[in-house]
Each structure stands twice: as structure tokens, then as C-alpha cells.
Amino acid sequence: MAEGKEQKSMLYKLKPVTDRLPAVTRPEGHVHFRTKMTWVILILVLYFAMTNVVIYGLDVEQRVDLFAQYRAILAGAQFSLMHLGIGPIVTGSIIMQLFTGAKIIKLNLKNDEDKAIYQGTQKLLVIIMIVVESVPQVYGFMEPSSKFSDGMSSLFGGDGEAIARTLIVVQLVAGSYLVFLMDEVVSKWGIGSGISLFIAAGVAQQIFTGTLNWHPSDPTAALSTDNPPAGTIPKTIYIFHHMSASELAGDGYETIFLAQPNPMVALIGTIVIFLFVAYTESSRIELPLAHGGARGARGRYPIKLIYASNIPVILMAALLANVSMFSMLFWSHETFMNVPLLGGNWMLGYYESGSTTPAGGLAYYLSTVNGFGDWLLPLLSDQYLTATGLDKTRLQISIHVVAYVTVMVLGSILFAKFWIETTNMGPEAVASQIESSGMQIPGFRRDPRVLKRVLERYIPVVTVISGATVGALAAGADLIGTVGNASGTGVLLAVGIMINLYDAIGREQMMEMHPVLRGFFGGE
């Protein structure tokens, strides 16, 4: 026992701190299906409410959204309490997975005590990441209004602007940690994952408005053929109704099919992505199972093609969002510009004044490609190449596309492997789960080691294929483009999340009718 204690991870020293962090307690027994659905609906309503609560005290004219191109994926709403979205939660998860996978953190996640330490440390890391992502943004790109600063100065004395910035940081921290607790509520008392639920809800909202929004593209100008409705369907109807045949042949069809925002090509791309992902999610290998004690009782264990779900893409998207944020900070933030090697280094990434989209450097080649207008049209037409405003050659645009797709695929494979190991979905854990349920593979001896050897033929290979598939689907979806600026990755995630949620609801209903199945599915 003494030897075992000496080998415990250094993270156990954080236990007095992590045990005191606000948390959602697990239910002591089985939570009924109706109760779980109630919690899911309540949390979803709270999420939408928070996206509409604007941060108090911001200067409307002097604020920059560093995560503008990743809004759909990070499930946030700019300059609201949900401004950071799930970014800090996912970033904390990435760090913990990388450290655990590389054996820098020595924890056995099959051990309940070690797993509790892992989750507690991750919670502490999430709080740290909330502060790390909040402070640079507030002190560099989210200016408090002069009225708010003057009010703080007269109320508390001293430097009113510093107090105002601190209060904005406090709002961001409070909102982001509340998101973390909401995710725990869904995970422990509801169905599925809160993070996934928020992503799907945000993407669905963007697709809905991008398709049906009848307000002008430029709200400050009157409705006209040069300023049609922003939504794809109202825009198409309006242009067909107000343009003659000769005008349609001129630039009318181009406006309908290619012009931003929300061209018809984007709507078609969204539908194609939806159908293709739905088909991919249904592809699986099924291992036959038989009950060792009940003759004739048979079943199947499905190993889906998307075995690691869409989590690897969420992790990759959050990682690239952080690359974008910090590259902009190092390029344009007064404090970060003085950091040796990184500060003001164009190779890391450089930005045009007032823009949040990288104009060059590493950040440019790793940035999201948003539809045909970002790459295909500039490659085919000089007019669209000039319209990008980035002064890029066709070779640079081609390298950007290849680099983005490659990084998404390889990164998703890496995170898929880490995710499988940290969530007990590897061959050994699955073999133990099947054995404990009393099932076995027909023709093989009932032994976890035998089951493990059989599963090792499938799970590691499917894990790599799964990561590569979701990475390629996400990157390919981004290349096609979507309505509502939801991004191809966002649509991919939303479709996968909704299918997984549907399956999870089906399992919950089955366990409600047949309680003996709870043990097999890991229920209480």
C-alpha cells in the first residue's frame, strides 16, 4: 500500500482545491426519462436566454470579436454572457487529454479515485482557461463605454476604466462557468452532453435564420435588388419577382447562386452535408453476441464508423480558434507585441487593420475556409480573386486549402485516439463491459482477454478511420459552405449530435421499459 501511495499522481495535491469548486452532484439513483428530458429542455431555454443577455458596459463602437469565424462551433453569441461559449471547456479538455495521453499526467482512468482527480483537475483548468481567454480580450478588444467608466470612477473612486474592465471580465467568467455547470447538469441529470446540445442549438438557429431571414442584407438600407433579403429563400423569391429575364441573365442568377450572404449554393451544400453525414453515421460493424446463461438470447454490439463521435472535430475546432485568437493578440495587442519571438511576428500570423480574419502567416493557413467564395471562385476568376482583399496568389490559396484539410484530418485522428482511451471505449474497457453483462461472442470462450483480442482487430482501426472521416467531412463541408454562416464543421457537428441524441433518447426509453439493460448501457 505504501508503494502504491508513492506512485500517486502529483495532481492529488490539488484535491483540497478541486473538492471545493462549485459542482453539480450526481443523482444517487436512477433518474426517470421524463425528468431527464425536463432538464434538457430547461437547460436549452437557459442557453438561449444567456445568448441574448449582452455584457453590460461595453462600447458598441469599439469591440472586436476574436472568435467571429468560429461562433457556430464554439456555441457562443458575440458580446453576450455566452461570448466565450464552450471554448474554455474544450480547451481544458484538450490539455488534459494531451497530458494524459503523453503520460505526463500519470492517472489510471479505470480507477474511480484517479478518474475523480482527473475530472477535478480538468474543472480547475477550465476556470484558468476562462480567465486566460477573458482577460486579453477585455484588455485589448472589448472597450468599456466612457459612460460606464465614468460611473465606476464616481462610484468607487480611482481608475474607473480599470474597474469597468474588471467588471466585464467578471461577467465573462461568471457566464462561462455557468455554461460549464449547465454542461454538468445535462451530463449527470439529462441526456447526452451539454456541450453538444449547445452546438446543435446554435447551428440550428443560424441555419434557420440564414434560410428564412426576410430582412435586408444591409439593415441600414432599403430593400432592393442590390440589397435583397438576407435569407436564401426570401432572396431568391424577391429577385425572381423584381428582375426581368434580361437582368436575371446579367447578374441575377449570380446573386442568387453565388453572392453572399446565403447563396443558393450554400443551401444546397447544407442539404448535401446533412444527408451525407446522416448516411455515414448509420454505417457500422456489428459483432454478434449471445448470453452465456440464457440459451437463445442474442444481440449485437455495434461499432460505428464514426466510433469517436464528433468530439475530435470539436476539439480541433477549439484548438484552431485558440491559434487564431493568440496569433491576433501577438500581432496587434500592445502587451503581447513585446513578447520575444512571438510578438509582432508575421510568420505566426498577421492581420489587416480592423479585421479578425488572418491575412497571412501560419494563422492564415490554419484558418477555416468558408465556402466556394474563399477558394474555388478565386481560383477560377480574377474578379473573385481581387474581391477577397487578401492579395493572395492562386498557389497560396491552394496551399491554404490543402493545409487546412490535412491539419483537420490528422488532428482529428490524434484526438479520436485520445478520446477513446479517456472515455473507456477502448478494447479492454468494452470487453469488460460486455463480459459483465453476461454476453459473449459466439464461438469464443467467455473470457475478457479473448474478447479484448477480438475487439483489438476492430476498435483501433475504426478509431483511426473514424477520426479521419469526421476530419475530412468537416473540412469538406467547410469547403462547400453553408447558410447562416454556420460553417460546414458546424453543420457536420449538429447533424451528428442530433443523430446521437436521438439514439441516446431511444436507449433511455429502452432502459426505462427494461431496467435489466441499464447495467449493459452503463446506466444507474
Based on the fold, state whether residues 231 and 185 are members of the same structural domain.
no
- On average, the pLDDT of the chain sits at 85
Based on the fold, state whether residues 232 and 170 are members of the same structural domain.
no
CB 363 within 8 A of CB 341: no
What pLDDT is attached to residue 80?
92
Tell me the pairing of strands 439-440 and 350-351: unpaired
The CATH number linked to 179 is 1.10.3370.10
What pLDDT is attached to residue 1?
40
Based on the fold, state whether residues 75 and 154 are members of the same structural domain.
yes
pLDDT at 295 over 70: no
Q: How many domains does the structure of the chain reveal?
A: 2
Q: What is the mean pLDDT of residues 405-415?
A: 94
Based on the fold, state whether residues 177 and 230 are members of the same structural domain.
no
CA distance 357 to 101: 32
What pLDDT is attached to residue 68?
77
Classify residue 444: in a domain, yes or no: no
pLDDT at 469 over 60: yes
Element (DSSP H or E) covering residue 238: helix 232-242
Based on the fold, state whether residues 179 and 57 are members of the same structural domain.
yes
Residues 229-285 pLDDT 10s:
999 999 999 999 999 888 888 788 888 988 888 889 889 988 988 888 888 888 888
Based on the fold, state whether residues 231 and 136 are members of the same structural domain.
no
- Of the chain, the end-to-end C-alpha distance in Å amounts to 31
Residues 416-454 pLDDT 10s:
998 888 777 888 888 887 777 777 777 777 777 888 888
Residues 61-82 pLDDT 10s:
778 787 777 787 788 888 899 9
pLDDT at 2 over 50: no
pLDDT at 389 over 80: no
Residues 332-367 pLDDT 10s:
877 788 888 888 899 999 988 777 888 899 999 999
Q: How would DSSP label each residue in 387-420?
A: HT-S---HHHHHHHHHHHHHHHHHHHHHHHHHHH
pLDDT at 32 over 90: no
Based on the fold, state whether residues 227 and 90 are members of the same structural domain.
no
Based on the fold, state whether residues 119 and 254 are members of the same structural domain.
no
Based on the fold, state whether residues 134 and 219 are members of the same structural domain.
no
User: Which residue segment(s) compose the domain that 36 sits in?
Assistant: 8-19+31-190
Burial status of residue 457 (CB atoms within 10 A of its CB: 0-12, 13-18, 19 or more):
exposed
% of the chain with per-residue pLDDT over 90: 27
What pLDDT is attached to residue 27?
87
